[in-house]
C-alpha cells in the first residue's frame, strides 16, 4: 500500500508552536491546509508568510472550548478544501500550577482545551473518515500523559485522556481504513514551554513537525515519541515504582 499523500489537511491549534510549523511544512509541500486557532491575527500572519508557497492556506478563528461551533467550522473548512485527507489536533495549553495549588477553574479549562476540544474536533473528523473509509487523524499528546506527575496533575490527565481516546479511535477506525496516530512530543521549544526554566533534551518546532509528518505518512507507528529518544525515556519513567517516583521532581 502506498504511503498516504496529504493534499487536503486541517490543523487545529495552528497559530503557533508545532501547529504553525505543521501548517507551514504541509503548505510548502503543496497541500491545501485549513488552519484553525483562537487568535486570528496570528493565523493571518502565518497565511501571509506562506503567500508564495505551493499550496494554500485557509484560516478560521475558533475557540476550541466552543464545542457548539465545531460541526459548522469543520463543515465549512472541509467544503472549502474539497475534502479531507489529514486532520491534526495540535491545540493545547499548559498553565503553570503551583505545588499547593488546586484551582478547579484553571484545571477544567485545561481539560476543555486539551481533551474536550480534541474530542469535539476528533469526533467530527472521525465521523467523516469513518464514512469515507479513508483518512489520517493525528493527535498531539504529550509524554506528560504517561505518568501522573506532581507538577501537572490535570495537564497530564488531559493528555492521558487524549491518549486513551485516540487509541479507541484507532481500534474503531482500523476496519474503515483510517489511520490514527498519537504523537507524544518530549520537550519542544514553543510558546507553550517558554515559561519553563529548563528544557530537557529540547528540539525545535520545525524538527518536531517534520518528524510528525513523517510518522503520519508512514505506517509503522501508532504512538510516536518526538524525538524518538523519548521512547526510551518514557519506558524508564514508566518503570519507576510509585514510592520512588513520588520522591523525584520529574
Partner 1 sequence: MYETADREARPSRAALVGDSELMDAGSDPPRGTEREPRLHRAFEYVEGWGMAVGARSRVLRPRSVEEVLLCYEAARRDGVTLGLRGAGCSYGDASVNRAGHVLDVSRLDRVLSFDRESGIADCEAGVTIADLWRHTLPRGHWPMVVSGTMFPTLGGAAGMNIHGKNNFKVGTIGDAILEIDVVLPTGELVTLDRQRRPDLFHAVIGGFGMLGTITRVKLKTKRVYSGEVDVKGVSSAHLGAMMEYIDNHTAEADYLVGWIDCFAQGAKRGRGLVHHARYLAEGEDSRAEKTMQLGYQSLPSSILGFPKSEVWRILRLFNHDLGMSLVNWTKHQAGKLEQRKGFHRQSHAGFNFLLDFVPNWKFAYGRGGLRGLIQYQVFVPKETAHAALSEVLRRSAQRGHTAFLGVLKRHRPDPFLLTHAVDGWSLALDFKVTPENRSSLWDTTDELTQIVLAAGGRFYFAKDAVIGPATARAMFPVGARERFLALKAEVDPEHLLQTDLWRRVFADPSERFTAGC
Q: Measured from the CB of residue 110, what is the shortest distance to partner 1 in angstroms?
A: 12
The DSSP string of 119-149 is: HHHHHHHHHHHHHHT-EEEEEE--GGGGS--
In the complex with partner 1, the residue whose CB is nearer, 124 or 212, is: 124
Q: Measured from the CB of residue 246, what is the shortest distance to partner 1 in angstroms?
A: 29
- The residue within the footprint of partner 1, chosen from 5, 79, 229, 238 (CB under 8 A), is 79
Site for partner 1 in 177-236 (CB under 8 A): 177
Closest CA to 238 of 181, 163, 188: 163
In the complex with partner 1, the residue whose CB is nearer, 63 or 189, is: 63
In the complex with partner 1, the residue whose CB is nearer, 10 or 57, is: 10
**Could you give the CA distance from residue 186 to residue 231 in angstroms, rounded to a whole number?**
9
Q: Is 38 among the residues that bind partner 1 (CB under 8 A)?
A: no
- The residue within the footprint of partner 1, chosen from 40, 54, 66, 250 (CB under 8 A), is 66
Q: Is 96 among the residues that bind partner 1 (CB under 8 A)?
A: no
In the complex with partner 1, the residue whose CB is nearer, 85 or 163, is: 85
Vertex 35: Cα angle to 29 and 36 (nearest 5): 160
- The residue within the footprint of partner 1, chosen from 132, 147, 189, 193 (CB under 8 A), is 132
Query: Using the 8-state DSSP alphabet, how is residue 3 labeled?
Result: P
Beta strands 56-61; 32-37: pairing state = parallel
Cβ-based neighbour number of residue 3 at 10 Å: 10
Kindly report whether the peptide bond that precedes residue 90 is cis, defined as omega within 30 degrees of 0. Answer: no
**Contact set with partner 1 (CB under 8 A):** 65-68, 71, 74-75, 78-79, 83, 108-109, 112, 116, 120, 124, 127-128, 130-134, 175-177
Amino acid at each position: 500500500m502506498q504511503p498516504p499523500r496529504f493534499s487536503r489537511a486541517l490543523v487545529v491549534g495552528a497559530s503557533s508552536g508545532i501547529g504553525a510549523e505543521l501548517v507551514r511544512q504541509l503548505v510548502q509541500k503543496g497541500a491545501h491546509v485549513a488552519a484553525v486557532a483562537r487568535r486570528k491575527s496570528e493565523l493571518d500572519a502565518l497565511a501571509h508568510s506562506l503567500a508564495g508557497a505551493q499550496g494554500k492556506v485557509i484560516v478560521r478563528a475558533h475557540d476550541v472550548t466552543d464545542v457548539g461551533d465545531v460541526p459548522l467550522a469543520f463543515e465549512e473548512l472541509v467544503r472549502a478544501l474539497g475534502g479531507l485527507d489529514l486532520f491534526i489536533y495540535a491545540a493545547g495549553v499548559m498553565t503553570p500550577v503551583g505545588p499547593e495549588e488546586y484551582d478547579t477553574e484553571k484545571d477544567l479549562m485545561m481539560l476543555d482545551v486539551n481533551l474536550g476540544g480534541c474530542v469535539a474536533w476528533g469526533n467530527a473528523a472521525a465521523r467523516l473518515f469513518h464514512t469515507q473509509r479513508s483518512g489520517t487523524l493525528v493527535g498531539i499528546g504529550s509524554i506528560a500523559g504517561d505518568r501522573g506527575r506532581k507538577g501537572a496533575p490535570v495537564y497530564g490527565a488531559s493528555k492521558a485522556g487524549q491518549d486513551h481516546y485516540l487509541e479507541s479511535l484507532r481500534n474503531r477506525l482500523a476496519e474503515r481504513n483510517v489511520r490514527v496516530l498519537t504523537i507524544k512530543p518530549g520537550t519542544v521549544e514553543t510558546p507553550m514551554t517558554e515559561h519553563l526554566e529548563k528544557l530537557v533534551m529540547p528540539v525545535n518546532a520545525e524538527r518536531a513537525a517534520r518528524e510528525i509528518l513523517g510518522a503520519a505518512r508512514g505506517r509503522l507507528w501508532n504512538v510516536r515519541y518526538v524525538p524518538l529518544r523519548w521512547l526510551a525515556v518514557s519506558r524508564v519513567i514508566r518503570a519507576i515504582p510509585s514510592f520512588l517516583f513520588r520522591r523525584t521532581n520529574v
